[in-house]
Structure 1
């Protein structure tokens, strides 16, 4: 049985949001992976790596799972109606519509998170209720056929959850062992709750969400919120 997975890729995509589950899926022989872009133009990630999509949004693919990574580049799609409509149409056909990190904001802007539990990067949790979502601070949140993952490294956990759902826990365990995924981080500050308050505040200053707030405010005005 061949499982068909797709990733929506775009400029300023956070590389690890995409690369972690992509590598897990590609390490699983039963999964075939496609890359989808707004167009067929090559994209460049936040780290400068460039590659090209296999398909553009003019094609609705019969997929088992479609994943939207996060990154600063999500901002360009929050009021991009052709892209948002693409996800609404894929939601009708795809077994699992999913996101990693701030990719969930695109699902939200598409109207697909309304009334659903969801998660995202800790710095973007405040935006989920604007889209009618119920914020949950967990690494991976499953609500029906919508699956969302937290920030960046949560994509590793996400990939294993997806593999387990599609191919069973034994296949997921095999993938985890192959990756030697047994994390023991050198510092216990991977969430705002665990990190020193000064460090959290520093990151908030250095990674301002002011521009994203303006874009989401425009979305609110358009949709009468």
Structure 2
């Protein structure tokens, strides 16, 4: 089973690493880190991830995992969307984490489908043709989408159960000791205090504004 984990600049590392650690040890899995070029991809401010193949070289995958991040430049560039349009029709499962769903939508994968994303980008996802859900993990046909960042682990465990059965999926959950007990109860926009929501919304908006400014001057 070939699983393609998509890399692109300014992606969020945990969006990829969480599902990677859940899915890559699965039975008969060959994991591919696929990007536009063979050059290392910067995730965040310092982490560099090295692709194992490129969009030109990999034209099929049984499972596709698209992480989120700051997707404005990637949406404008269109390289990820172009590759998804090529490989999605023959994939068994196409998945995303966080804002990765906006990249699926830009490729036409989510047209008329229910999907989720990071809470701050729901309007953007809706504008791209998806039927936006607030659920943490959404399955619509062969497409699985996860809400923000940490929800990628939930999505990957859901997919592991579909692929290999509940015992294997529960075993993976135990192996990675995924039994969260967070010190705060502010992990969703519905639970967080208004001032916390405003703070995070401002940080995200300023990041996307910077992306747009850079794209406009490129």
Q: Could you tell me the TM-score, scaled by structure 1's length?
A: 0.88
Answer yes or no: is 1:58 the counterpart of 2:44: no
Give, in angstroms, the shift of residue 80 of structure 1.
Answer: 2.5
Q: Secondary structure at the match of 1:79?
A: helix
Answer yes or no: is 1:106 the counterpart of 2:85: no
Give, in angstroms, the shift of residue 213 of structure 1.
Answer: 9.7
Distance 2:65 2:210 in 1: 21
Contact 1:14 1:47 in 2 (8 A): no
Q: Secondary structure at the match of 2:99?
A: helix
Answer yes or no: is 1:169 the counterpart of 2:163: no
Distance 2:79 2:49 in 1: 22
| Partner in structure 1 of residue 91 of structure 2 | 94
| Partner in structure 2 of residue 222 of structure 1 | none
Give, in angstroms, the shift of residue 166 of structure 1.
Answer: 1.3
Give, in angstroms, the shift of residue 29 of structure 1.
Answer: 4.2
Quick one: which of 6, 10, 25 aligns to 2:4?
6
Count of aligned residue pairs for this structure pair: 213
Seen in structure 2, the aligned counterparts of structure 1 residues 129 and 47 have a Cα distance that, compared at 3 Å, is: same
Distance 1:109 1:140 in 2: 20
Seen in structure 2, the aligned counterparts of structure 1 residues 49 and 214 have a Cα distance that, compared at 3 Å, is: closer
Contact 2:59 2:86 in 1 (8 A): no
Distance 1:63 1:96 in 2: 9
Q: Structure 1 stretches (4+) deviating beyond 3 angstroms?
A: 212-215
Contact 1:60 1:89 in 2 (8 A): no
CA RMSD of aligned residues (A): 1.9
Give, in angstroms, the shift of residue 212 of structure 1.
Answer: 8.4
Quick one: which of 180, 184, 193 aligns to 1:183?
180
Distance 2:143 2:162 in 1: 12
Q: Secondary structure at the match of 2:76?
A: coil
Give, in angstroms, the shift of residue 49 of structure 1.
Answer: 1.2
Deviations 1:65-121 (A, max 9, x none): 10110111x222212244322101111111111100000111111111110000001
Contact 2:66 2:96 in 1 (8 A): yes
Q: Mean alpha-carbon deviation: is it higher for 20-29 or for 125-134?
A: 20-29
Seen in structure 2, the aligned counterparts of structure 1 residues 143 and 213 have a Cα distance that, compared at 3 Å, is: farther
Q: Secondary structure at the match of 2:64?
A: strand
| Partner in structure 1 of residue 38 of structure 2 | 40
Distance 1:143 1:113 in 2: 9
Q: Mean alpha-carbon deviation: is it higher for 108-117 or for 78-87?
A: 78-87
Give, in angstroms, the shift of residue 203 of structure 1.
Answer: 1.4
Q: How does 1:146-157 map to 2 (within 5 A)?
A: 146-157=143-154
Distance 2:185 2:78 in 1: 41
Contact 1:6 1:63 in 2 (8 A): yes
Distance 1:146 1:140 in 2: 11
Answer yes or no: is 1:197 the counterpart of 2:164: no
